[in-house]
Structure 1
């Protein structure tokens, strides 16, 4: 009887152990799967070759499962060979060892990069610049970015004839998205549409090929005529960024754009890291574009001008960047004694000459023990009742604090050489000028 009880307990233990192992195996297998890009080089020239079938066969071979549903994410089959799939680490290793596979790498996230540029470079509009309208109108620029706003005046087709006959693309921009004889094509690689939700894609497209639009400004700042390098050229927009810019979407855009018949590809996207060319989606796509006579222009990045800060290194691409600019946005501070200090900010606000009292963050501290952090205008250290209706002076550049504490404007110590947009009047001052403000504030107390 005791033996039967012991056997029953042991049998139950085995069942529980097997159940736990199976649960752990399933859980581990699920967690292990990551999205990888399998790059296989150029498409075979055989007439009987079917990329999708080949990709599915590879997955079935390495997965060793009866069903591979949901494993295949994308297939590249128009301009080069490859696919995107969910694989475990061991499956990735087996795929990487297969004949015909060049590289297997994770599906990474890249970042968007970025105007009087053309005049500054000497490419001015007018009689002194020779142009060939027929050639320019026959040029199609593929823009890989965060989409485009088709209703913008920069993309009006007034005066344009039909698209070039070489164009093989489509207008698949989504609901209520209309192409025209200027913006001749659109695609998107995530749910939604090809519309630009941040302005970045519309900006880069207009820099490359936007029409000349007069009286353009940002709330009255930087007023003038905005235009692209080649206003007579056509645009095809490929939305590869929707919140994030994934490797697989970028490769899909290259796969389509090359087959669609673009002449130039511009892509203001990159990474902060450098990867081998065979694991770099932009280098891979640009290589196949180059083999078809298509130039890829890639932004150098936003991390300069430090040494070794450029990540777009493939020799078959044109990497571009600006090392200087011919204007700056300034925001003046006029003290009560008449002294004027010049700071930086994209400031579209007008205080109409009205004077407001200054308050230094330290003087608006909630308590004496918080005076030090109040110098930096740390939100939890400031007394909003002492800030409201005044110009807040802070050691750190934290405009949102001034806004939330109901200040009318803000002055910050800011040694950078660039300006940014804020929700209220702001001026970022260099150290010496900032100290002048503090001296004035103390003298007036």
Structure 2
């Protein structure tokens, strides 16, 4: 057991730090004479540098945000993040006895039975650049991932930490992107002639559905679902998109010729009749931005390419939310060869 002290009670006044600075355990805010050899309770979760250079043996930090934002990460000293409520309990204990003590035990791995779900720090839709294109496309593992790490870089990411390791536990887009990229590269190796849009389609249409009960933002949190490497290479059907389709989409979004050419890098112009085709970009998902009180009557056009069995039949199965009418026409697509393209329409209606 080690003595435990509240950071606010150990300000480094010689360095000009106030009690407020010390409560947040900012760099050089803690008095080494009061902190050395002790565990420090801090009011915010930071990188641990202030506690480390003051000689603390450990730190307990209250997370001011939602507990869903608490994730595993490396610190330069033994550390634990707690909820504001639990941190308050420790503060009460420190003030209840003359010689408060504590210890930080070794972490115990456990299975998160609630997984998979979208982390609180992950960005959500809708897509600000175009509300009628559903984003995100899909989800991939990105929380507490065991990843390769350069031994030349401090394990905690702070310079005062001199430990050197070849692996680390990391969370964020930097972990989710390699998963998605790896699966995309795997699909590309099996289908070298597929376009980026075809690969995206394969990843989205084979994703494992996720639960809206666990993710209140539903598709705005996880898109098509959790990426599935085993099924992505054999989607059966793909929604392909070529360069002209993207040009028509951008034109329908209001891009003028100059801006369009900045994106395409050539002398593209908006084709005649491209206005109003934004909804018909051959995307694997369908989205419609509309006020809740407004009546809906919209038709989406999609074309799928057969990349599965040469002779195959697909039937549309629609689960319709209350108050909406969703119809697919034709509801059955029968293919007779590989590479064959067939089209269908999806009609969404709602009375005002």
So what's the TM-score if we normalise by structure 1?
0.24
So what's the TM-score if we normalise by structure 2?
0.28
Larger radius of gyration: 1
More helix by share: 1
